[in-house]
Amino acid sequence: MVREFDAIIFDLDGVICYTDEYHYRAWKAIADNNGIPFDHTINNRLRGVSRMASLEIILEKSACPFSDAEKEALAAQKNEIYKQLLSEMTPDDLPKEVKRTLDTLREKQYLLAIGSSSKNAPFILQQIGLGGYFDAVSDGNNITHSKPDPEVFLKAAQMLNVAPSRCLVVEDAVSGAQAAHVGGMKAACVGDASNEGAGDWNLQSVEELTEIL
Ligand code: B16
Ligand code: MG
């Protein structure tokens, strides 16, 4: 079989592990403290979006305006709550089917990378036992534009020294699938993005990757 890809770039939150629920809980605490309506439907719009851009989406429902300094303070408070939740994660929070899939793709000699908007990506990978596992980690610390801008995936491809057209992105966010496409990459989607039909492949589980690769 002729291979279409040399590298697989995985989104982190919502693909490798379910930190999306922790983002929800942390933002919910901030929203409740400030009397701002917030639910899972709004939370879905935050997938793949940077911390400050997420806050702007949440503040759309606020009755009163916030200054830039107040916004910075709210984002910092949210991150403290989020990091507290992350500190309780262990390798048991890495789903078995995800680890099996990664190991199978590695055996098939694909390069494996992370392409995440999160500045907490290195800490999360450490917590779930994947520190040092990937061939490249491109995350919120090395980008200036978040998804749907393709920067995070293009940087991952650069780190791997692989052409974008030879990379497959795995995403749970519609914004992430769009970023892949703008960057000239194909996208395999799970979760919310799969339900929205945003991918070139729309999967029920990450493990289905081993059938298409
Ligand atoms: P942080 P991903 C994204 O991670 C999340 O989906 C998104 O909800 C979050 O706002 C963003 O990271 C930034 O996270 O506040 O930790 O820097 O899906 O791109 O892995
Ligand atoms: Mg995600």
Each of the 213 residues of the chain gets a pLDDT tens digit; together they read: 789 999 999 999 999 999 999 999 999 999 999 999 999 999 999 999 999 999 999 999 999 999 999 999 999 999 999 999 999 999 999 999 999 999 999 999 999 999 999 999 999 999 999 999 999 999 999 999 989 999 999 999 999 999 999 999 999 999 999 999 999 999 999 999 999 999 999 999 999 999 999
Q: Given CA atoms 92, 93, 98, 102 in this order, what sign does their dihedral have? A: negative
11 lines ligand 1 (CB under 6 A): yes
CA dihedral of residues 137, 142, 143, 146 (deg, nearest 10) = 50
CA of 1 to the centre of ligand 1 (A): 36
Which residues are the active-site residues?
11, 13
- Start-to-end Cα distance in the chain: 10
Among the bound ligands, name the one nearest to the CA of residue 12: 1
Which atom of ligand 1 is nearest the CA belonging to 23? 8
115 lines ligand 1 (CB under 6 A): no
CA dist., res. 30 & res. 10, Å (int):
29
What are the boundaries of each domain within the chain? 7-18+91-212, 20-86
Note the CATH number of domain 7-18+91-212.
3.40.50.1000
Q: Which residues partner with 114 through β-bridges?
A: 10, 137
CATH architecture for segment(s) 20-86? Orthogonal Bundle (1.10)
Among the bound ligands, name the one nearest to the CA of residue 46: 1
118 lines ligand 1 (CB under 6 A): yes
78 lines ligand 1 (CB under 6 A): no
Q: Count Cα neighbours of 160 within 13 Å in the Cβ-side half-sphere.
A: 29
CA of 4 to the centre of ligand 2 (A): 24
CA of 33 to the centre of ligand 2 (A): 26
